[in-house]
Amino acid sequence: MTGGNGGIGGTGVLIGNGGNGGSGGIGAGKAGVGGVSGLLLGLDGFNAPASTSPLHTLQQNVLNVVNEPFDDARRR
């Protein structure tokens, strides 16, 4: 018996972070796909699909630079 695939992460609408995809079940289950951030502001889930929008990619890169010192301080 194998576990099922993990669920898809939630999506931020205008402002909000995308959720992380769920973990797969025991055995052959795969992790779910991460959610996408809000249109105006928010960070994608850790395993969200790559965006084809250059503006969205730039937004994600800027947010990662802003968040880096805080993530380092929290040892994430």
The pLDDT tens digits of the residues spanning 3-15 come to 666 666 666 766 6
Q: Encode pLDDT of 22-56 as tens digits.
A: 666 666 666 677 777 777 777 787 777 788 889 88
Is the overall model pTM greater than 0.85, yes or no? no
pLDDT higher at 42 or 20: 42
Confidence band, pLDDT 50/70/90 cuts, at residue 73: confident
**Would you state the pLDDT for residue 5?**
62
Whether residue 68 contacts residue 43, with contact meaning beta carbons closer than 8 Å, is answered with: no
